Structure 1
Amino acid sequence: MAQKWTEELTPDMLPDGLCRVIAEEIGTDNLLKLSVLLGGSSFYLPRRERILRPLRDRKILEEYNGYNTAELARKYEVSQRWVQEIIKTHEEDKSNDY
């Protein structure tokens, strides 16, 4: 991807701000990759919780046994109502597949 001389870029060479913070967190090579993908554009990056939501929901479905709604709510830091909604939506989706 990058030319050899770009490997010499370090976070401290960047001006203070978001680019430097990102470079310090993920490395300058990954910052350059982001620049190629998104450079010059505006985009929305969801919060970590939103990105992980499909995985969290799948884990809840895998671990649900019909009686452990409260336990799953505590484990995944959601309300019992939300666990019930995940289960309900999954069951509706399954019934629509038939």
Structure 2
Amino acid sequence: MSEFRSKGPELLLDLTEHIAVALGELVAMESAKAQHVAKEVADRMAAHWGGQNIYFPMGLSIKLSRRDRQIYDEFNGTNHSDLARKYGASLQWIYKIVKAARKEHIARLQGDMFSPATDD
């Protein structure tokens, strides 16, 4: 790893360290093997995206979507206030989430009226 450290840019070093830790935590991979796999992943990312400016989104919309889906799943028609307290959101925000999630749910159930029908 010292050769990689001396040549590798800071981002790739940080990426390698995070991947190695994740492999150890998530799949209980032995440390030396996790470091090897992490270095390989970082090398491949560098080969594939090297020289490009890459923006890593924070993933807030995904996290919010998960939270919104959880709120909708827990909604029982009368627990707006409970959900607002539980998720630290305003009552109005809970109403908005439930309304949007319901609309999405109904749209998924109905499907696209203009898409060609398929016989399964």
Q: Mark yes or no: TM-score above 0.5.
A: yes
- Per the TM alignment, residue 45 of structure 1 is displaced from its structure 2 partner at its CA by 1.9
Sort the Cα spacing of 1:92 and 1:51 in 2 relative to 1 into closer, same or farther, 3 A: closer
What is the root-mean-square deviation of aligned Cα atoms in Å? 3.2
- Per the TM alignment, residue 77 of structure 1 is displaced from its structure 2 partner at its CA by 4.2
State the match for 1:49 in structure 2: 60
1:34 aligns with 2:45: yes
State the match for 1:87 in structure 2: 98
- Per mean C-alpha deviation after superposition, the further-off stretch among 84-93 and 30-39 is 30-39
- Per the TM alignment, residue 74 of structure 1 is displaced from its structure 2 partner at its CA by 4.1
Task: Could you tell me which runs of 5 or more consecutive residues in structure 2 were left unpaired when the two chains were aligned.
Answer: 20-37, 112-120
| Structure 2 CA distance for aligned equivalents of residues 36 and 74 of structure 1 | 47
Residues 14-63 of structure 1 deviation map (CA, whole Å, 9 limit, x = unaligned): 54632222221113233234334433222332214223222222211111
Sort the Cα spacing of 1:51 and 1:89 in 2 relative to 1 into closer, same or farther, 3 A: closer
One-letter amino acid of the structure 2 residue matched with residue 54 of structure 1:
S
1:17 aligns with 2:25: no
Q: TM-score, normalised by structure 2?
A: 0.53
| Structure 2 CA distance for aligned equivalents of residues 74 and 10 of structure 1 | 52
